[in-house]
């Protein structure tokens, strides 16, 4: 148990360090039970600040020795710090020896063991669990690392940078490797690995003519699952050179996969450590979604080498400096790889769905915080959708305001100014603006930066007035932002609103000319809303147009327009912007769902909407992936976010009813799509086009099974079962299995059993098996009962984060109707797991704890029961800071 101090750290308290650590020479004698760490640092005073004690952070360490310039000195340890006073005025050497117990480190922060090997995770504050240090990102040092370990058990010894020496010790029982990283780096980028691994490697020559060795390290049986990760890495290197002129600065770049990992992956300099989930894939075990996830996470971590490592964060409040920017970069990378405009749009829609599903609720709940937060108790709690995904939207808006080329120029200036430094979000925005002095961004930079300082999702209200006599269309845009914790009043944001006007009769893209302009400037443009209310008057319009606003989701806001169903149908059929076309379809469904939830609970899919959706399904040129997105109903939690008061059971019932109607009304069309979109049998390829076809076929199959079970026809469930058995790839197999499970078919049971038997040795596939069952559409409480039972399945474990998430996250976050029960059993389940997990892994426990963020929005009896469960967790005396912060805010 890591008991908290409940101390709050504030951004405004930032002070530069009193000392600089220039070099670090680390020697590890690796033993799972007791590892010796010998740390020799060159330290000097920071002349800019008054002389004071040196306070080095340390956690869960046994201190055995402290020497200054080779002599023993007096020191004390207080509040997880080693404190040294009366240090020399001149630069000095500090040697610290400690020991730690990696095999007891269940938090997976610092140095820990997984499947018998050693791995590290230092971001944000894990390095202090390895040795005493100034564990803050603005202290950057050059590292030399020597690893010593048993040769047979740990044949591979890796650390950051270049291998400069290796050899045997102890007559060959042990061996050592010495690594040196020439780039000064903050401690959070340190990494080591000592394990029995094999690697796929590839030599590449980059554009600049430099040779590099790329390596992907995995356990021996997993080598056949590394091809896609390697491909993605090669593509990442090429992309960053082509798009931003940023080259790989290392001779060797390594990725290591580990099966016990708290998050997705980590960008340690030259030695990225990854959750196996984002490395391992072959057609038999990974779905198309997994393949795309690998591409984007490999890209993400690689792109950090510049945005994060070469230029890093001054303090952890600036986290979005690297994360928002790097998410933006990985999103752009995936879009560029996808290629065609519609494939790009599919990726954009996916990203917006993620934002709305995770970030919007966060911004509306007790954990709402600005992209650059102002305070934290546990920094690990701020690796959030806001910092990552909203942060990426903020960067995207900058690109929208200065243009793609202007943005690339800004990036170049950013690196010219700050390479090798630890800087702030302000520094980044300033560089982009300074490189584009004539842009709307430069003109309103201070106001634009409210996106960094104000939390909450702004609402943009739009209304159009057509004047037939004057042939003008006057668009009124206004903005507001709801209060968030600690921020009752918000000042206006700078909101780029991309728009087009669509002809009501022919769906034509109309030329856009604002009053006072000489000519029309194309059919799409970006308006900048920066006041509370603004008007824009378009001229030369023969008839009232249909406005297509916020195209491509040009700002992370909620758009409130007054579009009628008839107008949404026009956009659905004709909008040139694929994002808004998709949005129109979602809105049509959402309008009906919300009306039913607020009304008598009866939802009805009317003929015009059915016809429109049918037309989409049969459309001759739209991508399959786009059709799949368009024909998928908004999720239950997205529906919930539109309501003042939420009854999860009612939302579920209404949505399930609409899902069934969609399956039935388009039955013949689903049959057609199922046949028409089959992927030719010539071996699996994870490209966007074939993935799109598989996705649509799976959606069709899900609908066909649902309709079949309802009318007790065995045909489609039988076909799905057959397809499940015969599938030659995981996307098809899991798709067929989900169709059976999602339709509550009798064949789901035997299929699940068979699936488990087939993949019992594939951990990542067994994760899917748990997740599928825990996220199945609830019916009569059976799904919850099953999930609770699965806790005692021999394959279940709370210690492995992927496995814990596969069951708990799937139930508590992805399955509202199974989780929110009138008898409160879901909340009891939640509280028990949070408390159990907190004793093992506080970071993970705190993630799970957030399932209750939106409890205040619940209707009774859910609300009271939820409060009680949260209070029970909060009442536990020994709680980590991580969980304490979440439950305190929830109740606050």
In whole angstroms, give the CA distance from residue 601 to residue 647. Answer: 11
Of Zn ion, ligand ARG, none, which one sits near residue 124, judging by CB under 5 to 8 A according to partner kind? ligand ARG
- When asked if residue 240 is in the footprint of ligand ARG (CB under 6 A), the reply is no
In whole angstroms, give the CA distance from residue 885 to residue 649. Answer: 29
- Give the nearer residue to ligand ARG in terms of CB position, either 260 or 380: 380
Residue 21 CB, shortest distance to Zn ion, in Å, is: 24
- Give the nearer residue to ligand ARG in terms of CB position, either 28 or 303: 303
Residue 308 CB, shortest distance to Zn ion, in Å, is: 7
- When asked if residue 301 is in the footprint of ligand ARG (CB under 6 A), the reply is yes
- When asked if residue 368 is in the footprint of ligand ARG (CB under 6 A), the reply is no
- DSSP-derived secondary structure letter, 729: S
Distance of CA 231 to the CA centre of its chain: 21
- When asked if residue 267 is in the footprint of ligand ARG (CB under 6 A), the reply is yes
- Give the nearer residue to Zn ion in terms of CB position, either 351 or 647: 351
Give the helix, strand, coil percentages of the chain, each rounded to 5: 45, 20, 35
Is there a catalytic annotation at residue 301?
yes
C-alpha torsion sign, points 9, 13, 16, 18: negative
Choose one: 259-267, 392-400, 506-514, 713-721; the region binding ligand ARG (CB under 6 A). 259-267
Longest dimension (CA), the chain: 96
Tell me the number of residues near ligand ARG by CB under 6 A. Answer: 11
Of ligand ARG, Zn ion, none, which one sits near residue 266, judging by CB under 5 to 8 A according to partner kind? ligand ARG
Of ligand ARG, Zn ion, none, which one sits near residue 263, judging by CB under 5 to 8 A according to partner kind? ligand ARG
Nearest C-alpha neighbor of 298 from the set 255, 328, 263 = 255
Which residues ranging from 3 to 62 are in contact with ligand ARG (CB under 6 A)?
Answer: none
Residue nearest to ligand ARG (CB): 383
What are the angstrom distances between the C-alpha of 345 and each of 11, 240, 288, 334?
A: 37, 21, 17, 11
- Give the nearer residue to ligand ARG in terms of CB position, either 134 or 265: 265
Which residues ranging from 97 to 126 are in contact with ligand ARG (CB under 6 A)?
Answer: 123-124
- Give the nearer residue to ligand ARG in terms of CB position, either 147 or 263: 263
Of ligand ARG, Zn ion, none, which one sits near residue 265, judging by CB under 5 to 8 A according to partner kind? ligand ARG
Nearest C-alpha neighbor of 470 from the set 525, 515, 527 = 515
Q: For residue 483, report the phi and psi dihedrals to the nearest 5 degrees.
A: -65, 150
Choose one: 228-236, 324-332, 493-501, 788-796; the region binding Zn ion (CB under 5 A). 324-332
**414, 431 contact by CB (below 8 A):** yes
Residue 780 CB, shortest distance to Zn ion, in Å, is: 42
| Residues with Cβ within 8 Å of residue 215, at least 6 apart in sequence | 199, 200, 201, 202, 252, 253, 254, 255
Which residues ranging from 375 to 404 are in contact with ligand ARG (CB under 6 A)?
Answer: 380, 383
Residue 888 CB, shortest distance to ligand ARG, in Å, is: 19
Which residues ranging from 124 to 163 are in contact with ligand ARG (CB under 6 A)?
Answer: 124
Catalytic residue among 59, 267, 295, 301: 301
From 54, 84, 157, 265, residue interacting with ligand ARG (rule: CB under 6 A): 265
Choose one: 4-12, 36-44, 258-266, 641-649; the region binding ligand ARG (CB under 6 A). 258-266
Q: For residue 174, report the phi and psi dihedrals to the nearest 5 degrees.
A: -110, 165
What are the angstrom distances between the C-alpha of 545 and each of 468, 474, 478, 717?
A: 11, 11, 20, 46
Residue 455 CB, shortest distance to ligand ARG, in Å, is: 20
Residue 311 CB, shortest distance to Zn ion, in Å, is: 14
**595, 605 contact by CB (below 8 A):** no
What are the angstrom distances between the C-alpha of 40 and each of 61, 90, 97, 644?
A: 16, 16, 9, 58
Looking at 711-840, list the stretches that DSSP marks H as alpha helix, in order from N- to C-terminal side: 715-726, 730-742, 748-758, 763-774, 782-790, 801-812, 816-819, 825-840
Report helix, strand or coil for 95. Answer: strand
Residue 323 CB, shortest distance to ligand ARG, in Å, is: 6
Residue 124 CB, shortest distance to ligand ARG, in Å, is: 5
DSSP string, 69-85: TTEE---EEETTEEEE-
- When asked if residue 323 is in the footprint of ligand ARG (CB under 6 A), the reply is yes
Distance of CA 805 to the CA centre of its chain: 15
- Give the nearer residue to ligand ARG in terms of CB position, either 124 or 250: 124
* Exposure b/e, 107-126, CB count within 10 A at least 16 = b: bbbbbbbbeebbbbbbbbbb
- When asked if residue 660 is in the footprint of ligand ARG (CB under 6 A), the reply is no
* Exposure b/e, 368-392, CB count within 10 A at least 16 = b: bbbbbbbebbbbbbbbbbbbbbbbb
Choose one: 65-73, 265-273, 661-669, 767-775; the region binding ligand ARG (CB under 6 A). 265-273
In whole angstroms, give the CA distance from residue 419 to residue 626. Answer: 40
Of Zn ion, ligand ARG, none, which one sits near residue 123, judging by CB under 5 to 8 A according to partner kind? ligand ARG
- Give the nearer residue to Zn ion in terms of CB position, either 326 or 809: 326
**752, 789 contact by CB (below 8 A):** no
Residue 4 CB, shortest distance to ligand ARG, in Å, is: 16
- Give the nearer residue to ligand ARG in terms of CB position, either 380 or 636: 380
Sheet holding 174-186, edge to edge: 71-72, 62-68, 92-100, 35-45, 19-29, 140-150, 174-186, 162-169
Residue 783 CB, shortest distance to ligand ARG, in Å, is: 30
Which residues ranging from 734 to 793 are in contact with ligand ARG (CB under 6 A)?
Answer: none
C-alpha torsion sign, points 246, 248, 249, 255: positive
Of Zn ion, ligand ARG, none, which one sits near residue 677, judging by CB under 5 to 8 A according to partner kind? none
**122, 191 contact by CB (below 8 A):** yes
- Give the nearer residue to ligand ARG in terms of CB position, either 267 or 583: 267
Of Zn ion, ligand ARG, none, which one sits near residue 154, judging by CB under 5 to 8 A according to partner kind? none
Residue 658 CB, shortest distance to ligand ARG, in Å, is: 36
Strands 92-100 and 252-258: unpaired
**Cis-peptide into 124, omega within 30 deg:** yes
- Give the nearer residue to Zn ion in terms of CB position, either 235 or 593: 235
- Give the nearer residue to ligand ARG in terms of CB position, either 119 or 829: 119
Of ligand ARG, Zn ion, none, which one sits near residue 290, judging by CB under 5 to 8 A according to partner kind? none
- Give the nearer residue to ligand ARG in terms of CB position, either 25 or 240: 240
Of ligand ARG, Zn ion, none, which one sits near residue 529, judging by CB under 5 to 8 A according to partner kind? none
- When asked if residue 263 is in the footprint of ligand ARG (CB under 6 A), the reply is yes
Residue 617 CB, shortest distance to ligand ARG, in Å, is: 37
- Give the nearer residue to ligand ARG in terms of CB position, either 381 or 439: 381
Report the chain's C-alpha Rg in angstroms: 28
Nearest C-alpha neighbor of 886 from the set 124, 365, 129 = 365
Residue 102 CB, shortest distance to ligand ARG, in Å, is: 18
In whole angstroms, give the CA distance from residue 594 to residue 362. Answer: 21
Of ligand ARG, Zn ion, none, which one sits near residue 181, judging by CB under 5 to 8 A according to partner kind? none
In whole angstroms, give the CA distance from residue 481 to residue 630. Answer: 29
Q: Which residues bind Zn ion (CB under 5 A)?
A: 323, 326
The residues carrying an active-site annotation are 301
Q: Which residues bind ligand ARG (CB under 6 A)?
A: 123-124, 263, 265-267, 300-301, 323, 380, 383
């Amino acid at each position: 148990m890591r008991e908290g101090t409940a101390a709050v750290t504030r951004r405004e308290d930032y002070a530069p360090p009193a000392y600089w650590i220039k070099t670090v020479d680390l020697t590890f004698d690796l033993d799972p039970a007791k590892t010796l760490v010998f740390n020799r640092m060159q330290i000097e005073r920071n002349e800019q600040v008054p002389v004071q004690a040196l306070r080095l952070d340390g956690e869960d360490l046994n201190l055995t020795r402290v020497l200054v310039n080779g002599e023993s000195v007096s020191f004390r340890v207080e509040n997880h710090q080693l404190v040294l006073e009366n240090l020399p005025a001149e630069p000095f050497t500090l040697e610290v020896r400690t020991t730690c117990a990696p095999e007891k480190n269940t938090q997976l922060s610092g140095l820990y063991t997984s499947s018998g090997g050693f791995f590290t995770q230092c971001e944000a504050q894990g390095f202090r669990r390895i040795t005493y240090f100034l564990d803050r990102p603005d202290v950057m040092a050059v590292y030399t690392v020597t690893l010593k370990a048993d040769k047979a058990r740990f044949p591979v010894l890796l650390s950051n940078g270049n291998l400069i020496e290796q050899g045997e010790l102890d007559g060959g029982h042990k061996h050592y490797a010495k690594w040196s990283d020439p780039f000064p780096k903050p401690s959070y980028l340190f990494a080591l690995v000592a394990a029995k691994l094999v690697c796929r490697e590839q030599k590449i020559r980059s554009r600049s003519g430099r040779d590099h060795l790329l390596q992907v390290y995995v356990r021996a049986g997993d080598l056949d699952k590394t091809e896609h990760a390697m491909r993605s890495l090669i593509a990442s290197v090429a992309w960053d050179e082509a798009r931003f002129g940023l080259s790989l600065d290392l001779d060797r770049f390594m990725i290591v996969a580990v099966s016990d990992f708290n998050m997705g992956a980590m960008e340690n300099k030259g030695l990225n450590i990854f959750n196996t989930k984002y490395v391992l894939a072959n057609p038999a075990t990974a779905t198309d979604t997994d393949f795309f996830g690998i591409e984007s996470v490999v890209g993400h971590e690689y792109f950090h080498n510049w945005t994060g490592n070469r230029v890093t964060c001054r303090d952890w409040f600036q986290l979005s400096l690297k994360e928002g920017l790097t998410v933006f970069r990985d999103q752009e990378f995936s879009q560029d790889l996808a290629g065609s405009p519609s494939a790009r749009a599919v990726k954009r829609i996916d990203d917006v769905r993620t934002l709305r599903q995770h970030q919007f609720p966060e911004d509306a709940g007790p954990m709402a915080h600005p992209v650059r937060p102002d305070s934290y108790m546990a920094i690990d709690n701020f690796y959030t959708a806001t910092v990552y995904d909203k942060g990426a939207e903020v960067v995207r808006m900058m690109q929208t305001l200065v243009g793609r080329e202007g943005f690339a120029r800004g990036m170049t200036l950013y690196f010219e100014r700050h390479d090798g430094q630890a800087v702030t979000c302000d520094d980044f925005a300033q560089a982009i603006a300074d490189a584009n002095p004539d842009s709307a961004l430069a003109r309103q930079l201070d106001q634009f930066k409210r996106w960094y300082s104000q939390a909450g999702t702004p609402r943009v209200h739009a209304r159009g007035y057509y004047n037939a006599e004057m042939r003008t269309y006057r668009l009124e845009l206004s903005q507001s932002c709801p209060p968030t914790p600690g921020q009752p009043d918000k000042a206006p944001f700078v909101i780029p609103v991309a728009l087009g006007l669509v002809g009501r009769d022919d769906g034509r893209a109309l030329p856009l000319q604002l009053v006072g302009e000489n000519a029309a400037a194309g059919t799409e443009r970006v308006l900048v809303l920066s006041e509370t209310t603004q008007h824009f008057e378009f001229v030369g319009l023969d008839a009232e147009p249909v406005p297509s606003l916020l195209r491509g989701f040009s700002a992370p806001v909620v758009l409130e327009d007054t579009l009628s169903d008839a107008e949404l149908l026009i956009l659905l059929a004709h909008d040139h912007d694929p994002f808004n076309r998709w949005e129109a379809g979602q809105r049509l469904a959402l309008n009906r769902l919300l009306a039913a939830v607020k009304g008598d609970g009866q939802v009805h899919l009317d003929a015009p909407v059915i016809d429109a959706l049918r037309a989409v399904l049969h459309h001759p040129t739209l991508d399959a992936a786009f059709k799949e997105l368009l024909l998928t109903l908004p999720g239950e939690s997205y529906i919930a976010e539109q309501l003042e008061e939420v009854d999860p059971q009612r939302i579920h019932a209404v949505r399930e009813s609409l899902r069934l109607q969609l399956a039935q009304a388009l039955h013949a069309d689903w049959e057609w799509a199922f046949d028409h979109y089959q992927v030719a049998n010539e071996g699996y390829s994870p490209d966007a086009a074939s993935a799109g076809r598989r996705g649509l076929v799976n959606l069709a199959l899900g609908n066909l099974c649902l309709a079949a079970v309802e009318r007790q026809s065995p045909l489609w469930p039988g076909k799905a079962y057959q397809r499940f058995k015969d599938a030659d790839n995981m996307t098809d197999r899991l798709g067929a299995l989900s169709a059976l499970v999602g339709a509550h078919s009798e064949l789901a049971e035997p299929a699940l059993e068979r699936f488990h038997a087939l993949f019992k040795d594939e951990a990542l596939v067994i994760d899917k098996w748990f997740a599928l069952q825990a996220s199945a559409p609830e019916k009569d409480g059976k799904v919850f009962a099953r999930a609770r039972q699965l806790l005692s399945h021999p394959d279940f474990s709370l210690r492995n984060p992927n496995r814990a998430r596969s069951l708990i996250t799937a139930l508590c976050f992805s399955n509202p109707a199974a989780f929110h029960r009138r008898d409160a059993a879901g909340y009891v389940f939640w509280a028990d797991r949070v408390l159990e997990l907190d004793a093992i892994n506080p970071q993970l426990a705190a993630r799970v704890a957030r399932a209750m963020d939106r409890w205040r929005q619940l209707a009774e009896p859910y609300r009271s029961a939820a409060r009680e469960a949260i209070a029970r967790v909060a009442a536990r005396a020994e709680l980590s800071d991580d969980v304490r912060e979440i439950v305190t805010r929830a109740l606050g």
